[in-house]
C-alpha cells in the first residue's frame, strides 16, 4: 500500500487542520498549524489543543482566566519574588485554572469565586487565605488594566479553616536542646532559630561577619530551588534587621564562616542537607533523653519520643519575648515581620493558650461541683 504523503502548504511546510470550540464564544472554529516536519506540526497541534483545554489560549473575544493568570505571574511576580514564593503562586494558579481557567475573565462572577473557595473547605486557614489572596490579586490587576469592569472577589466571604499553630517548647525541652547543642555539629543552627528567632533560610545564610558586637545583622537568606541553596536577599524589607544576642546564644557564635554547614564543612547547605542535619540533631536529643540509642535500649524500656520543627523554635522565641515583656512592635521588628498584625496574632495565641491551660489546671485541682445544679464546669463553657 502506498504511504500517504504529508499535506504540504504552498510554502513547503507541513499543514495540519484542527477543529476546536472557542471557550469564550462557544463557536466552532478551525485553524491551520504548520511545521517543517510532520512531527513538528503534530507537536504544535498537541500544544495548541492543550492550551485550549486549559484555557490559556487567547482568542479575539478577550483573555481567558488561564491566559491572564500566567501573564500576571510572569509580569507581576516572577521578576521580584523568591523561587519558593513563586512555587507557591504557581500551585495556587493550578487550582484557579482547574476551576475556571477556560472562562473569559469578563465572564467570571462572584458565584465562581465562591465555588472556588468552597472547594478549599477542609484545608487550614492559611491555605484558604493563600488561594483567596492569589485569585483576588489576579482579578485586581485585571481591573487595573481595564480588562474587567469589576473584581468578582469583592464581597466574597472566605470559608473558615482550622488555624495552624506551632507548639511552644517546654522549659525542659529548651534545656535538653541546649545540652545537645554543645556537642552536635548542627547545634549553632538550632540555637540561632531558638534563641535568635531566625527562619531556617536566615540561619543557613548567617556567617560570623554578620555579628557586630552584641547584635546579629540579618540581611540575607538562603533561597532553595528544588534542593540546592543560593544566598539571596532577606524575605521582605522588614527581614533586614538587627537583633540582640541572648546570653544563651553567645557560646555558639565563635566559629568563623557559616554557622550551618554540611558534615564536610560545605556551605550554603542544600535543603536535603539541612533536613538531615536537623534530623540528626533531634535523634541526638532522643538519645540524651533516653540515656541510650534506641537499638541498645534495655528490654522493657519505654522509649521517649521527642521532636520539633524550625517553626516551633521560632514560635518559642516569640513566647520568650512575650514572657520577658518585650513590646509587640519591638518583637515584630526583631522577628522580621512586615505586618505587625502577624506578631499580634502570635501574642494573642500565647495569651489564649495560657488562659486555657490555667483553666484546665484550676479544674483539675478543684474537681468540685458547682452550685445547686450539681454540674461541673466544662472547659468549653469557660472558653466562651
What is d(CA 336, CA 326) in angstroms, rounded to the nearest whole number? 15
CATH number assigned to the domain covering 65-144: 1.10.150.130
Question: What does the pLDDT read at residue 380?
Answer: 36
The per-residue pLDDT for 374 is 44
Whether the domain at 65-144 and the domain at 171-311 fall into the same CATH topology: no
pLDDT grade for 145, boundaries at 50, 70 and 90: confident
pLDDT confidence of residue 30? 82
Strands 215-218 and 241-244: antiparallel
- How many angstroms separate the CA atoms of 156 and 111, rounded? 9
Which band of pLDDT confidence, cut at 50, 70 and 90, is reported for residue 125? confident
133 touches 141 (CB < 8 A): no
Give me the torsion for CA of 255, 258, 259, 260, rounded to 10°. -140
Residue 300: band (very low, low, confident or very high) from pLDDT cuts 50, 70, 90: confident
| % of the chain with per-residue pLDDT over 70 | 86
* pLDDT of 31 above 90: no
- The mean-pLDDT minimum among 11-15, 112-116, 299-303 falls in 11-15
> In the chain, where are the structural domains located?
14-54, 65-144, 171-311
Q: Is residue 25 scored above 60 in pLDDT?
A: no
- CA torsion, ordered 136, 137, 143, 145, to nearest 10 deg: -160
Instruction: Please list the alpha-helical segments (H only) found in 55-124.
Output: 65-72, 83-100, 110-118
pLDDT at 346 (0 to 100): 86
CATH architecture of the region 171-311:
Orthogonal Bundle (1.10)
Q: Dihedral of the CA atoms 338, 344, 350, 351 (nearest 10)?
A: 170
Amino acid at each position: 500500500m502506498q504511504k500517504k504523503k504529508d499535506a504540504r502548504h504552498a510554502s513547503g511546510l507541513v499543514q495540519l487542520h484542527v477543529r476546536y470550540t472557542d471557550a469564550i464564544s462557544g463557536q466552532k472554529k478551525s485553524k491551520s498549524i504548520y511545521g517543517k516536519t510532520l512531527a513538528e506540526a503534530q507537536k504544535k497541534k498537541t500544544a495548541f489543543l492543550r492550551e485550549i483545554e486549559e484555557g490559556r489560549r487567547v482568542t479575539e473575544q478577550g483573555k481567558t482566566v488561564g491566559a491572564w493568570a500566567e501573564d500576571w505571574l510572569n509580569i507581576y511576580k516572577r521578576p521580584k519574588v523568591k523561587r519558593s514564593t513563586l512555587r507557591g503562586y504557581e500551585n495556587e494558579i493550578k487550582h484557579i485554572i482547574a476551576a475556571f481557567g477556560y472562562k473569559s475573565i469578563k465572564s467570571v462572577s462572584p458565584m465562581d469565586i465562591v465555588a472556588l473557595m468552597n472547594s478549599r473547605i477542609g484545608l487550614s486557614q492559611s491555605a484558604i487565605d493563600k488561594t483567596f489572596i492569589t485569585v483576588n490579586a489576579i482579578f485586581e490587576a485585571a481591573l487595573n488594566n481595564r480588562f474587567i469592569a469589576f473584581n468578582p472577589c469583592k464581597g466574597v466571604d472566605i470559608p473558615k479553616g482550622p488555624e495552624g499553630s506551632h507548639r511552644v517548647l517546654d522549659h525542659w525541652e529548651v534545656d535538653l536542646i541546649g545540652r545537645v547543642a554543645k556537642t552536635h555539629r548542627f547545634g549553632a543552627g538550632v540555637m540561632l532559630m531558638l534563641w535568635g528567632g531566625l527562619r531556617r533560610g536566615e540561619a543557613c545564610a548567617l556567617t560570623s561577619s554578620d555579628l557586630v558586637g552584641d547584635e546579629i545583622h540579618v540581611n540575607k537568606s538562603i533561597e532553595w530551588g528544588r534542593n540546592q541553596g543560593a544566598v539571596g536577599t532577606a524575605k521582605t524589607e522588614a527581614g533586614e534587621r538587627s537583633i540582640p544576642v541572648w546570653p544563651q546564644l553567645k557560646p555558639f557564635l565563635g566559629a568563623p564562616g557559616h554557622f550551618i554547614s554540611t558534615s564536610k564543612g560545605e556551605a550554603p547547605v542544600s535543603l536535603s542537607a539541612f533536613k538531615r542535619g536537623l534530623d540528626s540533631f533531634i535523634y541526638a536529643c532522643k538519645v540524651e533523653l533516653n540515656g541510650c540509642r534506641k537499638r541498645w535500649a534495655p528490654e522493657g524500656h519505654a522509649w521517649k519520643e521527642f521532636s520539633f520543627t524550625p517553626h516551633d523554635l521560632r514560635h518559642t522565641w516569640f513566647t520568650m519575648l512575650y514572657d520577658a515583656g518585650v513590646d509587640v512592635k519591638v518583637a515584630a521588628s526583631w522577628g522580621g515581620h512586615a505586618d505587625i498584625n502577624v506578631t499580634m496574632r502570635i501574642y494573642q495565641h500565647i495569651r489564649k493558650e495560657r488562659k486555657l491551660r490555667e483553666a484546665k489546671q484550676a479544674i483539675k485541682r478543684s474537681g468540685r461541683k458547682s452550685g445547686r445544679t450539681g454540674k461541673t464546669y466544662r472547659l468549653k463553657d469557660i472558653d466562651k
